[in-house]
Amino acid sequence: MSGHFRPVALAHASRLINHGPTVLVTSAHAGRRNLMAAAWSMPVEFTPPRVAVVIDKRTWTRELVAASGAFALCLPGPTLADLSYAVGSESGRDVDKFARHGIVATSGPVLGMPVLEAGCAAWLECRLIPETHTEEAYDTCFAEVVAAAADERIFSGGRWSFRDDNIELQTIHHLGAGRFVRAGGVIEARKP
């Protein structure tokens, strides 16, 4: 290797591509609900829209998702960085994180999953795609998006628009240890 490049421990290799938007994963079943932060989520199909998100098999969220067959992904902005770090650092097994943190949620239109709008740029309501082998072997969950909504001040006409007047809605990206970076600083490429 030359110049400024140095080896990265394989245990940290995923962090090199893991700075996509932080999502708040909401779940609910039989009168219980939970909220956790996840840094690993991504689209996997266009039509129908499908996503993947990593939810540790040992978590309360994963139990609720397995029981209900559904979850929602909410995309917090910078004003929810402290909340994102808090709900990603504590278990909801013995406490209602919504009540503890004063989180207001509405019900998603298709599956009734809790969705957050205040402080968020968007949300996606998702139906779990049963994958027995994957669910037993990995922490990755696959789902079909059945409803989605976005704040038109930052997402309109199928496109993101990061501007100085919508900084409070720009997605946040987890860098580790409670550090986040806000999306922004758009660079527009010239057509070849």
pLDDT digits (tens, 9 = 90+) for 102-113: 999 999 999 999
Mean pLDDT score of the chain? 92
pLDDT tens digits, 56-108: 999 999 999 999 999 999 999 999 999 999 999 999 999 999 999 999 999 99
Checking if the pLDDT of 47 tops 80, the result is: yes
CB distance 118 to 76 below 8 Å: no
pLDDT tens digits, 106-135: 999 999 999 999 999 999 999 999 988 887
The residue behind tokens 């996503």 is: 51
pTM tops 0.85, yes or no: yes
Statement: 23-182 belongs to CATH 2.30.110.10:
yes
